[in-house]
A = this chain, B = another copy of it.
Amino acid sequence: MATGSASRTIGILSPGDMGAAIGRMLADAGYEVATVLAGRSALTRTRAEEAGIRDAGTIDDLVREADTLLSVLVPSEAVSIANEAAAAMARTGAKPVFADCNAIAPQTVRAIAATIGGAGATFIDAGIIGAPPKLGGNTRIHCSGADTSALESLAEAGLNILVVGPEVGQASGLKMIYAASTKGTTALWTELLVAARALGLGDALLVEFGGSRKQIADDLTGVIPSMPRRARRWVGEMEEIAKTFDDLGMTPSIMQGAAELFRFVGETSLADQTSREPDPSLDAVLGTLAERLHDTR
């Protein structure tokens, strides 16, 4: 147990893959970790229990008990959970620190900050880069805002917390831009490799890559097999990146297209796979997606 952490209660909304992993690290380090399980699936309940996350009952109970709330959700739920938390703060008079850790655009997070600030609580912008964290892992939790100390203190549980700057929007912006570089590139390369397959040009393309671009092609195609099982979740994230670019005055189309590509992948049976099964081969992924083109044309 880390020194001085026993008195801290952390609320996690909600204990999905990412939220439960964070909760487990905090619970293992001696933090009290709670959530709201009403209406959640049996899987979520089991995952919370295994991670040492207890059910606080209602959102009002959670807001009353928690020193810090971590919002860790799919992007589309980020605004509504912040609204619920702000309403609970108004009803209860409790003002826990609220850290939004979701993959959302800076302008979305600034709107959430206004809501939480309006309820009188401290707001922290955060962005998670990497897999669900574990002790000794490489996942980074970036944060920004006027006072990020509540999140920084969780580093004693082994979380890798990095302060990006003083402004709400910076941590989210970094998350968006980094995800554009990884998932956006994966979307483009998936599309062009499926096109090559559909046009019978897969081998000719490999020959073209064979020279100076072989290493880069290997790197960029190597991540495709693990993409389909995450494609449905990535749609909303790509749309938030599109908003980020649009708000800066640049085209949203590239990342809107990435969202469309992942939506297309998500419509295939490839997306039903879970992380507990071995990933399909690159060849199988491209073959299934090219077949799907023929089916829908």
**A164 B216 Cβ-Cβ under 8 A:** no
In this assembly, does A191 line the interface, its C-beta being within 8 Å of a C-beta of chain B?
A: yes
Contacts of A182 in B (CB 8 A): 213
In this assembly, does A188 line the interface, its C-beta being within 8 Å of a C-beta of chain B?
A: yes
**B187 A205 Cβ-Cβ under 8 A:** no
CB nearest neighbor in B for A198? B248
**B254 A191 Cβ-Cβ under 8 A:** yes
Copies held by the complex:
2
**A244 B195 Cβ-Cβ under 8 A:** yes
**B192 A180 Cβ-Cβ under 8 A:** yes
Return A141 CB to nearest CB of chain B, in Å.
Answer: 12
Return A126 CB to nearest CB of chain B, in Å.
Answer: 13
Q: Which of A173, A213, A264 has the most CB of B within 10 A?
A: A173
**A253 B250 Cβ-Cβ under 8 A:** no
**B251 A170 Cβ-Cβ under 8 A:** no
Contact pattern, A 188-204, Cβ under 8 Å of B = 1, otherwise 0: 11011011101111001
In this assembly, does A283 line the interface, its C-beta being within 8 Å of a C-beta of chain B?
A: no
Quick one: which of B191, B204, B213, B220 contacts A251, CB cutoff 8 A?
Answer: B191
- By a beta-carbon cutoff of 8 Å, the part of chain A in contact with chain B is 106, 129, 138, 140, 142, 164-165, 169-170, 173-174, 176-178, 180-182, 184-185, 187-189, 191-192, 194-196, 198-201, 204-205, 208-209, 211, 213, 215-217, 219-220, 244-245, 248-258, 260-261, 264, 293, 296-297
A and B contact pairs by CB, cutoff 8 A, 18 listed = A140-B208, A164-B201, A164-B204, A165-B204, A170-B200, A174-B205, A178-B208, A180-B188, A180-B191, A185-B189, A187-B254, A199-B248, A215-B215, A249-B297, A250-B261, A253-B254, A253-B256, A254-B258
Known: A180-B192, A180-B195, A250-B293. 16 other contacts (CB 8 A): A140-B208, A142-B204, A174-B204, A177-B205, A182-B213, A184-B192, A185-B188, A185-B189, A188-B254, A194-B248, A195-B248, A216-B219, A249-B293, A253-B254, A253-B260, A255-B257
Which 9 residue pairs across A and B have the least CB separation, nearest first? A253-B257, A254-B257, A251-B260, A180-B192, A173-B199, A249-B293, A251-B257, A249-B297, A253-B253
